[in-house]
Chains A and B, each alone.
Chain A
Amino acid sequence: MTAENFDLLKEKLNGRVTDDPFETSFYTRDMASFPGFLVKLMFRVGAELAARPQSEEDVRQLVAYARDNHMAITPRAGGTSAYMNAVPVSGGMVMDLTGLSGLIRLDKERGVAEVWCGTAWSALEKDLNREGFTLCSYPSSAVSSTVGGWFSMEGQGIGSMAWGCFHDLVESAHVILASGEEFDADAAGPRPLSLFAGKEGTLAIVTRLTFKVVPLAEAAYHVSFAAPSAIVAAKIMDMAEKGPVKPFNGHFADRTCLDFQKRMGYEVPEVSGFLVTLSYRGAAADMAACRAYAETIRLKTGVRLCSDETAAEEWEERLYSLRIKRNGPTLLAAEVILPMARLNDFYGRVKKLRQRVSVYGHMMSGQQANVMAQYYADESQTLRYLFYLAKTKKINDAAIACGGRPYGTGVWNTVYLKRSRDPASLAEAREAKERLDPENRMNPGKFYRPPKLMPPALFGLACFAANLGSRVLRIGRRR
């Protein structure tokens, strides 16, 4: 890159692009905590440029600049992902897309909204509510995560029980390829929407999305059950799914998850197994039917209903799962997709970890759940922390053994690719990557292959050794 054309770019973007290492350094981390020395050893973390486009035209200018200078582009939005998905690992430009924000258009008749990619979900919900509309679904990080971020990830979260994956609610997306070519991707065509959904920014920058929204519901009803076991929790979800009104959302938390909250001083209900919560929304008349059906579930499963306050709190706190973090102070997690029929099996395996692991899950469409298994550690004790980190492999292995898989890929979960993705779809994704981004400039180093320095066999061996060490040294027993 020459000084003149960089100055020109700066001018075009009104100063919203910089090569100041101080500024770029703040775009090099995400939610996960990995020891710095390990990350430095394996990757070239960092970007030469950080840019904050505020319009599609800005994005065009930046993409053209990157193309002309053979530069990698790492799209980044809320930065709430955890597998280095939005962390630049091959230098180049990090593009902070949160400036492309806001509701562009709401078509009330068709029930669709066109939204800029960097819009945070909670802000969008506020805007829609003002117009008498609401979101179908959103991630439980809705306060800061964005529309484009969730489309680029797996798109399962709150509301998925009723509405399925967010990808399927999207009608069209405007995308800009690394070459600078841009188009509206929709269901049909040679480069359909499905090609870009969940690809973690490795194919294109999505600048805006048009997706389904619905009128605000008249009423809501939340109900919590005290299920004695994972088997009963799964049974409740199965019944709920097949009931007269599908819940908008279903989630569950095990006893350990509640204990972690209790340690933080929160009041929690007495539950021996799982706290299962169903949230309904719809016409006021339907809520009576939901209430009656909750009673049917209770009678058929023989479980106890928790208080209305518990159910309401479970709903109100749905975006604040991190409130238990202080006990760690590090909260390590493995997030997996799991068939509900195998929840009990998975739970049994996780409980053998020789450390307390909390299990928390959101229902997805059908009979699957998006499950978060979390445990405490302390990253300030670097050596011990490596042993703790290795335990996530055991959780991911448990999910794979139960017919599930890790949720999200980024860098770290590429080691599970071969075991967790079907070969045909992986080959198809790789082919699309080669076709649409032949120079491998869009978010390189992610999603398709494990890093060279982290082949799955070596990773497996290292984790095996660390987990053996954990067992001998009793690491995590007291947590």
Chain B
Amino acid sequence: MRGKPIFENLKKEALVCARCGYCRVDCPVYEGLGWESASPRAKMEITRKLAFHGKLTEKDIARLFQCTLCGQCRETCSARIDTVSVWLEMRRRIAAGEKGPENMRRLAAAIDETGNTAGDAPENRRLWLEAMDDEAVLKRVGQKAELLYFTGCSGALYPQIYGIPQAFTRILTRSGADFTVLGENESCCGFPLAAAGEPERIRKQAEHNVAAAKELGVRTVVTTCPSCFHAWRDFYPEILGGETPFEVLHASQWLAREIAADRLRLGPVEERVTYHDPCDLGRNSGVFEEPRYVLNQIPGLELVEMECSGSDAACCGGGGNLEAVDPALTEVIAEARLREAEATAAKTVVSGCQQCKRTLQGNARRKKIRLRFADITELVDRSMAAYEANQ
């Protein structure tokens, strides 16, 4: 479809909506719940209520927060409405009236107070590094360098995710990159604040992180988390009123560049894998090609696509802070995606997002679905290790 999605204001978008229901067909939340009230078309109707009558019921609000912000509805909207901006603005208006879900408010407060989504002490951001048991890596914390690896809250604070930042750090080390990490000085990127309806609070995070990166003379910021990537690339310049002095890359983009320049040595990984496009990397940031390029460069690896992939890819269920308000719905959405992955007969589901991996892996375990899960960095790490072993 031609034309860029547009967002002017709530009133305008509510009027522009034609109620055609195109947005409904691929919405994972609607698919999961089945009631018309759970569809994006209904969310537009709720938007109309707020925009013209200023009042919402608790049920209206609950439906608005039952959304992964996956962007499928924006992709299919026949009237080219930037629906995700509508949902974010609605959340903002609701949160401003202190009517948002309790869990969202708690999450926003935790980020504001502690600088992370878990409400942990900042020093805990070093734990994944310490667990690597590599003095050389530890020494890089807070050092001046060309490249900053911005770990993000999930990678830094959730032990089941440690594998991703550890793998990427090993890749960086092997490649000889001049890199640093912020350690305890890293603060949440702020992305979850937008989903919680409190985008104004992102400024504090943006200012802190940008200042920290500038202080280390960083030129390139690389993230393994698509939401951090989106925040650094798209939110920060807007919030801080101008370009930030960094090139911002997702790890898959950095890997693609290094592989193309022949700077990474890859060995065989004999495995059939399928790639799950994270919504915030794919549809919401436009990065589809690089992860596939990287996977296709790994000798022995067979990449098969799921029925819905690229800009059509279904959500894992973990976006939009949905898990905080409706974990059962996250499960339903994750299961649908897992069934699609299962149908490819791939052994491993690869993604480029710690949240996607965590959501899919957790639900596969609960549903006894026999699939393995890996981040793209973990596969490249394995491939590089295989190369070294063969030398």
List residues of chain A with CB under 8 Å of any chain B CB. 16, 18, 22-23, 25-27, 29-31, 50, 52, 78-80, 96, 99, 120, 122-123, 141, 143-144, 264-266, 313, 316-317, 319-323, 325-326, 328-331, 378-380
Q: Which among A26, A122, A313 has the highest number of chain B CB atoms within 10 Å? A: A26
Q: Which among A50, A316, A329 has the highest number of chain B CB atoms within 10 Å? A: A329
> Is B21 interfacial (CB-CB < 8 Å)?
yes
List 17 additional contacts besides A80-B21, A321-B78; criterion CB under 8 Å.
A25-B37, A26-B42, A26-B45, A30-B19, A31-B19, A50-B36, A78-B21, A122-B25, A144-B20, A264-B3, A266-B2, A317-B1, A322-B79, A325-B18, A326-B80, A329-B15, A380-B15
Chain A residue at minimum C-beta to C-beta distance from B63: A22
Question: B18 contacts A144, CB within 8 Å?
Answer: no
Question: B78 contacts A79, CB within 8 Å?
Answer: no
Give bound CA distance, A16 to B52, whole Å: 31
Contacts of A319 in B (CB 8 A): 78
Q: Which one of A26, A50, A322 contacts B18 once the chains associate, using CB atoms below 8 Å?
A: A322
Question: B6 contacts A326, CB within 8 Å?
Answer: yes
Question: B19 contacts A52, CB within 8 Å?
Answer: no
Contacts of B367 in A (CB 8 A): none
Contacts of B45 in A (CB 8 A): 26, 29
Contacts of A323 in B (CB 8 A): 1-3, 78-80
Give the number of chain B interface residues (Cβ < 8 Å): 30
Q: Which one of B18, B25, B37 contacts A123 once the chains associate, using CB atoms below 8 Å?
A: B25
Q: Could you list some 16 contacts between A and B, CB below 8 A?
A: A25-B37, A26-B35, A26-B36, A26-B42, A29-B45, A50-B35, A52-B35, A78-B21, A79-B21, A143-B20, A143-B76, A144-B20, A144-B25, A316-B1, A321-B78, A325-B18
Give bound CA distance, A223 to B25, whole Å: 31
Q: Which 8 A-B pairs have the closest CB atoms?
A: A329-B15, A144-B21, A26-B36, A322-B78, A143-B22, A329-B16, A26-B37, A325-B79
Q: How many A-B residue pairs have CB under 8 A?
A: 93
Chain A residue at minimum C-beta to C-beta distance from B81: A326
> Is B368 interfacial (CB-CB < 8 Å)?
no
Q: How far is the CB of B311 from chain A (nearest CB, A)?
A: 15
Chain B residue at minimum C-beta to C-beta distance from A20: B59
Q: Which one of A96, A322, A379, A380 contacts B20 once the chains associate, using CB atoms below 8 Å?
A: A322
Contacts of A378 in B (CB 8 A): 15
Give bound CA distance, A79 to B22, whole Å: 10
Question: A23 contacts B80, CB within 8 Å?
Answer: no
Q: Which one of A23, A31, A144, A331 contacts B37 once the chains associate, using CB atoms below 8 Å?
A: A23
Q: Which one of B20, B37, B42 contacts A141 once the chains associate, using CB atoms below 8 Å?
A: B20
Given contacts A120-B25, A123-B25, A325-B18, contact A23 B11 (CB under 8 A): no
Question: A29 contacts B20, CB within 8 Å?
Answer: no
The A-contacting residues of B in range 59-86, CB under 8 angstroms, are 59-60, 76, 78-80
The A-contacting residues of B in range 1-28, CB under 8 angstroms, are 1-3, 6, 11-12, 15-16, 18-22, 24-25
Give bound CA distance, A26 to B33, whole Å: 14
> Is B34 interfacial (CB-CB < 8 Å)?
yes
Give bound CA distance, A30 to B45, whole Å: 11
> Is B57 interfacial (CB-CB < 8 Å)?
yes
Give bound CA distance, A330 to B20, whole Å: 13
Question: A96 contacts B59, CB within 8 Å?
Answer: no
Give bound CA distance, A448 to B91, whole Å: 45
Give bound CA distance, A380 to B51, whole Å: 11
Contacts of B3 in A (CB 8 A): 264-266, 323
Contacts of A331 in B (CB 8 A): 18
Give bound CA distance, A261 to B223, whole Å: 40
Contacts of A265 in B (CB 8 A): 3
Q: How far is the CB of B278 from chain A (nearest CB, A)?
A: 23
Q: Which one of A23, A141, A316 contacts B35 once the chains associate, using CB atoms below 8 Å?
A: A23
Q: How far is the CB of A479 from chain B (nearest CB, A)?
A: 15
Q: How far is the CB of B132 from chain A (nearest CB, A)?
A: 46
